[in-house]
Structure 1
Amino acid sequence: MELTRRQAELADFALRLIARDGLPGLSFRAVAAAAGCSLGAVQKAFPSKERMLAAAFAQLRRTAAPLPPGQPGRPALRSWLVALLLGILPLDEPRIAAQRQGDAFAQRALTDPGTAAAIAESDTHVRGLLASLIARARAENEVPQHVDPATTAWAVLALAQGLAAQLLYMPEPETTIRDRLDSTIGALLR
């Protein structure tokens, strides 16, 4: 979904509200109040609440998972994957907010086929990218030939999603998580 600059700004306010109050707290009035603009300005940007939610989800997808610096999978896939997961796991307030936002949309996906399809498409895309990096590492003999890229990509995403959920109710220090991720990713790539 392509957003205008104004829609992106308002979607950011919507995401802040979702992180704080969940989807039930999201309304045109709440976004207008948070953004310091009129109700009409929000309604002009989004003809329906569904469009506002779609814009917020698109904005979340664009901003919630920054890649580690440099070329993907380099200099070593294992360390790059650890850095990637550390960058998205809810280990500080901004990443906790992003996880809460993602969880709100995942909850909505239970009853909204459009949201479910968008999340499934995003997960499929991420798994595809991870599988291509694993396949490249395998071709370069960084990863053994018996490691299946698709299965390993699935496991990495499942690890990230499960650990993200756990960290919301059972926070741990980043150094502990880094060590566990390094060990687990290492095992997956062996």
Structure 2
Amino acid sequence: GQEEALAKWLRLLVAKGVESLVLVNRPWPLDVALPASILRCASLRRLYLGVWHFPDTSRASAPPRGPGVFPRLQELGICHTIMQERDLEYLLACSPELKTFALILSYAAPSLVPISSSSLCCVLVWLSMPYEVDVVAAPRLQRLILQSIGTIHTTKVKIGHAPELTVLGYLETANHVLQIGNTIIKV
């Protein structure tokens, strides 16, 4: 079926050493799972995914977590894709050269956006509703841009270790709670 055809296409792209890939599931429904073979495309420099169920990275079909999965990936965009926190952590851990990460139209999936990367410079969480964005350790992070989709719930923005952070954009007191270290910043 459709998933087998997509898996075949992904295997061909891997064999060709594709560097840039935009893969959007159209038309609906959102119930189509992205084949785990996307995690075997080590030649990618830019990857944008839209309208998928992200593959479960805890399964045996996923490559072992580490820099060998996406060793050259510099840009990653995830749009309206259902994924778990562990999958996002996996992607960041498997992308040692990642400079830019965008999470767009995420409706609390993942509910926690943990940022831990020694290479990330810019993170965009746009029109999304995570319960928490947690910059755990991002020594090169310069820009963190957030834009909420509404006031369904408050998003906690925690800044741990980000010594290069110079831009923290679009915080709204009605939608965001900002915590830097152990200090909660109040209006």
Q: Shorter-chain TM-score category?
A: under 0.3
Q: TM-score, normalised by structure 1?
A: 0.27
Q: Which has the higher contact order (CA 8 A, sep 6+)?
A: 1
Q: TM-score, normalised by structure 2?
A: 0.28
More strand by share: 2
Bigger Rg, structure 1 or 2: 1
More helix by share: 1
